[in-house]
Amino acid sequence: MASLFEYAVLKVVPRPERGESINAGVVLYSPENGFLDARVHLDEARLRAIDPDVDPGAVLAQLRAVVLACRGGVEAGGIGELSPRQRFGRLASPRSTVVQPSPIHTGFSDHPEATLEHLMRVMVHPPDSGGGMSL
């Protein structure tokens, strides 16, 4: 039976004052399935198109931190000690940094991991999906 899930798209906003962004990941939480995970994909060419001076390595480090936070544990730092619900809440809360979450969206799924991969294809990967760095 399908279970409720919540997700947020991770947007990279290299110059918040301009408001331009690219989608770079998805965080998905399914409490009934005990599932919290994220996938990220940074398309450097698209990122440099909106800010030629951005450091893709620094952005990728922030995206990796989200993936670690989802998985929890000591590698994630203090956030890794929180419950999955609390971690999702922190990761999906609005902030004015380079990596920003979208509003939270919901749906139903039998397979949260497959749903996460689907959301990555639809929301993050460009249709030609030619370059970039994925985790």
pLDDT tens, position by position, 14-59: 988 888 999 999 999 999 999 999 999 999 999 999 999 999 999 9
Q: Which residue has the higher pLDDT, 133 or 83?
A: 83
Helix, strand, or coil (residue 4): strand
pLDDT at 126: 80
Q: Are 65 and 73 in contact (CB under 8 A)?
A: no
119 is written with which tokens? 């959301």
pLDDT above 70 for 133: no
pTM: 0.89
65-102 per-position pLDDT tens digit = 999 999 999 988 999 999 999 999 999 998 878 999 99
Q: What is the DSSP letter of 89?
A: H
